[in-house]
Amino acid sequence: MASSPKAVQTTKTAADTGVSSAALAEKIPAIVWTTDLEYRLTSLSGSALMPLGLYAENCIGHSVTSLFAGTRALDAHCGAAAGQSRTFETEISGRDLQGRVDPLRNADGKIIGTIGVGLDNTDQLVAHRALRLSEQSYRSLIEDAPYAICRCSPNGDLLQVNRAMLEMLGYSESDLLVRNLRWDIFAEATAFDEFLLRLRGSAACQGFDGRWLRQDGTCVSVSVGGRSARDSSGGLSYLDVVAENVTHRKLLEDQLRQAQKMQAIGQLAGGIAHDFNNMLTVIRGQVEVMAEEMLASDPFRPRIEEVERASERATALTRQLLAFSRRQVLQTKILDLNSVITNLNQMLVRLIGEHIDLHFLPAADLWPVKVDPGQMEQVLMNLAVNARDAMPEGGKLVIESSNVHQGRVCLDRDRTVEISDHVLVTVRDTGHGMDDETKARIFEPFFTTKQAGHGTGLGLSLVYGVIKQSGGYITAESVPGQGTMFKIYLPRTNGTKEETARHAPTPVPHGHETILVAEDDESIRQLVAGFLRSHGYHVLTAADGSDAMEILQQHGSRVDLLLSDVVMPKMGGRELAQGLRRKMPGLKVVLVSGYAGDPERTSGLEASRFVQKPFSMHHLASTVREVLDADHQNN
């Protein structure tokens, strides 16, 4: 039976369409397949077959499981055969395939199998994995950074924070993200405004110093940097902020500045003390000579004695200045601090007044220490004066001594030191106390809370200098309204304790030897020469070392003792002594100086003695006599 034209036309169209569909399937960058209801492959095509190493003739007629390993693909086909569209992922020849399976229906809509398409998304997955790794790496970089990092809105609302910021400020993430950088984190809101202003004027900012508030209310010093992100209209979108905790560095910088300041002031104090010592030597010496020539009944004698006492107080002040500058040669002795405090007790009572009760609690068997007793007396008097000024209405001052076998000394909030075998002297009062800001500065030179004319601000800094030069530590504890307690730690020493009691004055010794006096200060040179001559000595004088050498050559006589200032123009005392000893090996030497800090200038000079300005004429004459007598004994 011949076919009708319509049927022929329909069959031809279908055939033509089938050819076009097959050709199209071969061009698709995927694989397309169909199965029957037994899940056997009935067709397989697509340009992705070859990259996957698949050949249609090897797969058609076989189960779909021979093409797709695992159960996911089979489960998807079962679902499609039941009328549902399913997706699955599988792997073929090391390539990742994303598949989709749908029901295959005939013209009547009846399901006769399944039809699926699979896309090779290996490159996409690799790119996605790389992106995920990059994101993880970036997040790790932010999270593990040792600096606080955050993102905030232009008005300061926190949007993101990292772990370092949580640790720096002591917040949990949920607590911190509800905070505002301007109002809650910056200690001063104006500092955030200034930081924001810099970011508005420039895309980035670095090295902005500020303070951030922790959750517990304490502050940390931070160095802040950041960048601003802008929207399409040019307005600020958000800020990325990085902050480094520089609290410890700031502390070290403050300590360095303080040390440099102390060093500079120490050099100034040492120079001032040197000039004062020269003047005080003349004043004390002339007063001493006048007092020696006066009768006890002379009506001017009390005035002379008052000048002498004033010069002694000025001498103590210059010694404190030298101790502060660490240029004071301390006249140390091994002694019992209990004896020093006991001997000072009556003077302290007069010093602080009757409205303050003084109590001394000495420790039994107190260890000996090696200190300058005069300087320790000055330390205790300075502390007593401070206590007196803190108790204008009266109160109690307690001085207590004890032995410390092992302990820890808190020098400040961030520094402690372990000690062993130290003697502790505690001085505490019931005065008005100090706040933390004042307490942090009490040892600074010229810092005082007293009214003008009532204090120089040097007292406690001089105390600090003496204790440090003695190898010890001093700390202060105070609470406003509850008094202040100073603790002095001095290292224990071995040896026999020396007597600290003062002996009655002895007559000024006389002599007949020849003494060469080399001193650049004319007033001191004339004073010393006149005093020694009045006590029987033959004296030659020189204005400096070079002058002394010339005088000796012209005089041509033997000199028994050289009495010379250490620091002089042209030639100093040490160089002079060495030059003279080359000519006279047995020459005895006594060196004097207002600096009192030049032990290296006397090194190498055996049997030499050192006298610190300002000295009394009696002390100088006794020293000269001791050195000369030792020379006679050795001969």
Asked whether the beta carbons of 158 and 177 are under 8 A apart, the reply is: yes
Cα–Cα distance, 181 to 153 (Å, whole number) = 9
Q: Mean pLDDT, to the nearest integer, of 504-516?
A: 79
Q: pLDDT by residue (tens digit) across 251-262?
A: 888 778 877 776
Asked whether the beta carbons of 368 and 335 are under 8 A apart, the reply is: yes
- Which pLDDT score is estimated for 458? 57
Q: Mean pLDDT, to the nearest integer, of 236-249?
A: 93
Helices of type H across 325-428: 337-352, 373-390
Q: CB count, 10 Å around CB of 342?
A: 13
Q: Mind giving me the DSSP string for 118-156?
A: EEE-HHHHHHHHHHHHHHHHHHHHHHT-SSEEEEE-TT-
Asked whether the beta carbons of 60 and 43 are under 8 A apart, the reply is: yes
Cα–Cα distance, 77 to 100 (Å, whole number) = 9
What lies within 8 Å, CB to CB, of 626 at 6+ separation is 609
Tokens of 182: 């301007």
Asked whether the beta carbons of 577 and 564 are under 8 A apart, the reply is: yes
Cα–Cα distance, 460 to 440 (Å, whole number) = 12
pLDDT of residue 502 exceeding 60: no
| Of 139-153, 494-508, 565-579, the least confident | 494-508
Q: pLDDT by residue (tens digit) across 51-89?
A: 888 888 888 999 998 888 878 889 999 999 999 999 998
For residue 562, CA distances in Å to 250, 433, 573, 577 come to 53, 54, 9, 7
Q: Mean pLDDT, to the nearest integer, of 541-566?
A: 84
Q: pLDDT by residue (tens digit) across 294-351?
A: 777 788 888 887 887 777 777 766 766 665 555 555 678 888 999 999 988 887 888 8
pLDDT of residue 22 exceeding 60: no
For the ranges 123-137, 212-226, 349-363, 446-460, the maximum mean pLDDT occurs at: 212-226
Q: Which residue has the higher pLDDT, 619 or 172?
A: 172
Q: Strand 588-593 to strand 609-612: parallel, antiparallel, or no bridges (unpaired)?
A: parallel
- Which pLDDT score is estimated for 18? 43
Q: How confident is the model at residue 563 (pLDDT cuts 50, 70, 90)?
A: very high
Q: How confident is the model at residue 503 (pLDDT cuts 50, 70, 90)?
A: very low
**Phi, psi values for residue 360, rounded to 5°:** -120, 125
Q: How confident is the model at residue 456 (pLDDT cuts 50, 70, 90)?
A: very low
Output Rg (C-alpha) for the chain, integer angstroms.
Answer: 48
Q: Which residue has the higher pLDDT, 350 or 490?
A: 490
**382-393 burial, b if ≥16 CB within 10 A, otherwise e?**
bbbebbbbbbee
Q: What is the mean pLDDT of the chain?
A: 82
Tokens of 492: 């224990």
Q: How confident is the model at residue 177 (pLDDT cuts 50, 70, 90)?
A: very high
- Which pLDDT score is estimated for 180? 95
Which amino acid would we find at residue 541?
T
Tokens of 205: 């900012």
- Which pLDDT score is estimated for 359? 94
Q: CB count, 10 Å around CB of 509?
A: 16
pLDDT of residue 389 exceeding 60: yes
Cα–Cα distance, 579 to 28 (Å, whole number) = 110
- Which pLDDT score is estimated for 35? 94
What pTM, to 2 d.p., does this model score?
0.48
Q: pLDDT by residue (tens digit) across 142-159?
A: 888 899 999 999 999 999
pLDDT of residue 428 exceeding 50: yes
